[in-house]
Amino acid sequence: MARVAARGVRALAVLVVGLALAGSASAVPVLYGTAYNGPDGLSTFYSVDATTGAATAIGAIGFERVGAMDFHPGTGVLYAVGERNDGFDTPVLITINLTTGSGTEVATLNGGAAHSFGDAYTDISFRSDGTLYAYLDAGDGLGTIDVVTGALNELGFTGVSGAGNGIAYSSGNVLHHANEVALHSLDQFTGAASQIAALTYPPLQTFPRVNAMDFDPATGTLYAAVRRDFANYLATIDPGTGAVTSIGASQSGLDALAVFTVPEPGALALLAAAALGLARRRQSSAA
């Protein structure tokens, strides 16, 4: 019986090692998005196919105008910004359940008041230390949000104006920003923008702009939700040249995008090591 158990554990260890090796060779990016329509539209949570752009509804979030979200780098919790469905347009910070899409309020943003740049939070992005940055519109400002209290710290005017206004931190902690015309880096203390490159979109598009974007931490690929005409599509942006490459049409009203990578090679490697250790211990005890 002990030999059978040992053989079973060894087989599990081999399987997990195989998964770890496969995961380290090519991590699979999983994208999530939100969409809504209208000034007080209720939002829906989607999974977005990274190879085609196709969106599949997961569930109703239960909040209006959820147009910005990102995963916390330490906890893996998905945070988002939207408005309470209370008829008063109260801005709130929420978390989103990946299985059901349901949103849970964490705190009111900025005490429930509008900020100095307007009343919109067009995109959010976590720095590697867990500091949450937000692009403040319609007046093009940058701020940070306390993920416990919802307090907003306004950093300053970016110096650019435009539409879309997606932001994303790279693995090197460079805060990128894109609108309809250019890709910028944003100063993390003042908000001031420095142009990296002009954005070049696929031809024959009317007023394309980047609504949201996020880096795949495994590959460094910068994914973007782009709005053009009255349609939305998933794209990648070259962070050096600003070239926008369309992946495919996506959900109408797509206004937030976040990348979660599975499998995580580090986690699988730890699991493989644990399985191998368990196999060795079982073999020793069975001997």
- Residues 37-82: tens digit of each pLDDT: 888 889 999 999 999 999 999 999 999 999 999 999 999 999 999 9
Q: Name the H helices within the chain.
A: 2-25, 265-286
- Tell me the one-letter amino acid at 161: S
pTM, two decimal places: 0.83
Helix H or strand E encompassing 225: strand 222-228
> DSSP secondary-structure letter at 9?
H
CA–CA separation, 273 and 13 (whole Å): 8
pLDDT of residue 284: 54
CA–CA separation, 99 and 228 (whole Å): 30
- Tell me the one-letter amino acid at 171: S
CA–CA separation, 150 and 275 (whole Å): 42
**Residue owning tokens 């090591």:** 273
Span 74-100, average pLDDT: 95
**Residue owning tokens 């040992």:** 6
Helix H or strand E encompassing 154: strand 152-157
CA–CA separation, 173 and 175 (whole Å): 6
Span between the terminal Cα atoms of the chain, in Å: 12
Residue 15: pLDDT band (50, 70, 90) is very low
Q: What is the pLDDT of residues 156-204, one digit of tens each?
A: 999 999 999 999 999 999 999 999 999 999 999 999 999 999 999 999 8
- What class, spelled out in words, does domain 28-262 have in CATH? mainly beta
Backbone phi and psi for residue 182, each to the nearest 5 degrees, phi listed first = -150, 160
Q: Which of 84, 56, 90, 72 is nearest to 254 (CA)?
A: 56
What helix, strand, coil percent values describe the chain, rounded to 5? 15, 45, 35
User: Which pairs count as long-range contacts for 149-153, CB under 8 Å and 24+ apart, including other chains?
Assistant: 149/107, 150/92, 150/93, 150/106, 150/107, 150/108, 150/109, 150/110, 150/111, 151/110, 151/111, 152/109, 152/110, 152/115
Helix H or strand E encompassing 155: strand 152-157
- Tell me the one-letter amino acid at 109: L
Percentage of the chain modeled with pLDDT above 90: 75
Task: Give CA separation, 235 vs 48, 238, 248, in Å.
Answer: 11, 10, 7
Domain residues of the chain, as ranges? 1-27+264-287, 28-262
pLDDT over 60 (residue 238): yes
CA–CA separation, 151 and 270 (whole Å): 37
CA–CA separation, 202 and 189 (whole Å): 34
pLDDT of residue 27: 65
pLDDT-wise least confident of 72-76, 146-150, 175-179, 232-236 = 72-76
- Token digits for 282? 């079982």
Q: Please give the residue that has the higher pLDDT: either 280 or 164.
A: 164
